[in-house]
Amino acid sequence: MVRLVDSRKRILVTGGAGFIGSHLVDELLSQGHEVICADNLFTGAKSNIEHLHSNPNFEFLRHDVTFPLYVEVDEIFNLACPASPVHYQHDPVQTTKTSVQGAINMLGLAKRLKCKILQASTSEVYGDPLLHPQPESYWGNVNPIGARSCYDEGKRCAETLFFDYRRQHGLKIKVARIFNTYGPRMHHADGRVVSNFIVQALQGAPITLYGKGQQTRSFCYVQDMVEGLIKLMETDDAITGPVNLGNPDESSIRSLAERIIGLTGSESEIVHKPLPEDDPKQRCPDISLAKEELDWAPSVQIDEGLNRTIDYFRKRLTNLVVQ
């Protein structure tokens, strides 16, 4: 998606040293914008952005969004928040604070600057959904007091704040509900299924299938996700979302494991582990709204995306062993 802009903007990306955030930063810079990345490096990594340090249009701020931030920008993408269950359950109070206080701080900044702000929300707002696939009109089935609640309810409250800032202060908001996304720069040890299975397969270690593996997810390649986020940000002010962004190509977790074993040529065996608490049984986005309002749909097929991710982890694991 190479496209040089005539109107260059200065854009803040919180969580810009993370997996999705760093790809978003790359794309915004390649479009000719200036980017400020604010990240506390909790789950992000300097290595995700080290190739940008000599770029005069890029600036990194080590900053925790639960504290106010004073910068001058034209747009804000608010992605700061740990996204993998292992990481967001590590310090659940901080996870809720990041979503809620982080949203209040970034909305306050957008209010002062009168600028557009996009929230990286999540399919987790639908919880363990009773409606399938999930349209944006579905209010969800979320446990408010379980192990996943710090993330799910934190993100739901952030959505509330975004819409209240719009109603009360006329802010220009965009809310993207991101479904499972994968690709290079996922943290190799963050426990998410794609990174876990690829790392296990490449190391010849047992593939850890939780439960029977009949639960489903729909996996979107990161490049498609970044395109969707930018298209949503570019919509006119009447369009706020929430808009589902994800790939509607649904598969069981068992078939994902078998696919990754096949693509890596691994001899790993599948072993079963207990299903985590409140693990959603099925998840698949209804992306009609994104197609209609953003003219967006994912284009990277699962095997292609997995092969690119496998290549990334092959190199990364070699470097980790050498270091």
Assess contact for 4 and 92: CB atoms under 8 A.
no
Is residue 43 part of the contact set for ligand NAD (CB under 6 A)? Answer: yes
Is residue 156 part of the contact set for ligand UDP (CB under 6 A)? Answer: no
Tokens at 108, concatenated = 């306050």
Assess contact for 176 and 245: CB atoms under 8 A.
yes
* 3-state secondary structure (DSSP) of residue 307: helix
Selected catalytic residue, list 151, 165, 182, 221: 151
- Cβ-based neighbours of 32, under 8 Å, separated by 6 or more: 4, 5, 8, 57
Q: Which stretch binds ligand NAD (CB under 6 A): 9-17, 51-59, 203-211, 234-242?
A: 9-17
- Candidates 11, 12, 13, 20: give the one binding ligand NAD (CB under 6 A): 20
Is residue 87 part of the contact set for ligand UDP (CB under 6 A)? Answer: no
Measured in degrees and rounded to the nearest 5, phi and psi for residue 125 equal -65, -15
Size of the site for ligand NAD (CB under 6 A): 28
Is residue 253 part of the contact set for ligand UDP (CB under 6 A)? Answer: yes
What count of Cα atoms within 13 Å lies in the side-chain half-sphere of residue 97? 9
- Candidates 259, 276, 308, 316: give the one binding ligand UDP (CB under 6 A): 276
Distance, CA of 248 to CA of 284 (rounded, Å)? 6
Cis peptide bond N-terminal to 242, omega within 30: yes
Is residue 213 part of the contact set for ligand NAD (CB under 6 A)? Answer: no
Catalytic residue IDs:
151
**Contacting positions for ligand UDP (CB under 6 A):** 84-85, 180, 191-193, 196, 208-210, 215, 217, 253, 275-276, 279
Q: Which residues bind ligand NAD (CB under 6 A)?
A: 14-15, 17-21, 39-44, 64-66, 79-83, 98, 102, 120, 122, 178, 180-181
